[in-house]
């Protein structure tokens, strides 16, 4: 059912846009009841985010052997998911979050917490390997990582084809800002 709902949501977003998507339409396209969708997602926005960005199953990337590599892998995964939705979907979701504190709290407690767990895992690996002297604040690390990607995609509307270069630069800048030695220097 989850796959059918996600597929239906993606198709309808491409056809109707963010504002035109309804849970009724997704339920009809997916061949499920509206109540079944609301048992999984409290709101239309949560359903959309899970369908087009990531659900609660986002995984920490495999250990690359370095803090920079782990940051790059995690940010690359998140960035790829942010590029995938049709234009206007992610900004629409965030506009709704900003307008509704209860929705924002649910989003933070679920989707943001999932990303933050992955960031924490990467930080813990770096500390265990001796690449960081102590564990930085995961919230700060998370913001340092995703901030440039959000600015690139949604504020500056830059070319998606150049996103890989930004991901590498953002991962390097975040690594240094969080306490790792700059590339080419000893720890």
d(CA 86, CA 98): 20
Q: What is the mean pLDDT of residues 74-81?
A: 87
Looking at the structure, tell me whether residues 91 and 7 fall in a common domain: no
| 32 vs 110 pLDDT, higher one | 32
Provide the total of helices (H) and of strands (E) in the chain, helices listed first.
10, 0
**pLDDT tops 80 at residue 176:** yes
Contact assessment for residue 25 and residue 38, using Cβ atoms and an 8 Å cutoff? no
* Nearest CA-CA partner of 13 in 38, 48, 47: 48
pLDDT for position 63:
96
pLDDT in tens, 57-75: 678 999 999 999 999 999 9
pLDDT in tens, 102-118: 888 888 888 888 889 99
pLDDT in tens, 132-173: 999 999 999 999 999 999 899 888 888 888 989 999 999 999
Domain count, the chain: 2
C-alpha distance from residue 102 to each of 92, 105, 146 (Å) = 16, 5, 23
Looking at the structure, tell me whether residues 36 and 74 fall in a common domain: no
Contact assessment for residue 18 and residue 48, using Cβ atoms and an 8 Å cutoff? yes
Looking at the structure, tell me whether residues 87 and 128 fall in a common domain: yes
Looking at residue 29, which CATH number applies to its domain?
Answer: 1.10.10.60
> How would you class 143 by CB atoms within 10 Å of its CB: exposed for 0-12, middle for 13-18, buried for 19 or more?
middle
């Amino acid at each position: 059912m989850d796959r059918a709902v996600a597929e239906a949501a993606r198709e309808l977003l491409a056809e109707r846009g963010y504002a035109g998507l309804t849970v009724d339409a997704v339920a009809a396209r997916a061949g499920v009841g509206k109540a079944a969708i609301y048992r999984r997602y409290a709101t239309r926005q949560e359903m959309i985010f899970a369908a087009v960005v990531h659900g609660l199953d986002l995984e920490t990337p495999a250990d690359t052997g370095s803090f920079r590599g782990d940051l790059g892998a995690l940010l690359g995964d998140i960035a790829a998911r942010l590029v995938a939705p049709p234009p206007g979907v992610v900004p629409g979701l965030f506009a709704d979050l900003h307008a509704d504190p209860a929705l924002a709290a649910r989003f933070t407690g679920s989707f943001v917490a999932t990303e933050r767990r992955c960031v924490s895992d990467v930080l813990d690996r770096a500390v265990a390997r001796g690449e960081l002297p102590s564990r930085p604040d995961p919230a700060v690390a998370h913001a340092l990582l995703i901030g440039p990607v959000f600015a690139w995609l949604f504020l500056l509307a830059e070319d998606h084809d150049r996103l890989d270069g930004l991901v590498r630069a953002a991962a390097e800048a975040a690594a240094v800002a969080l306490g790792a030695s700059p590339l080419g220097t000893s720890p």
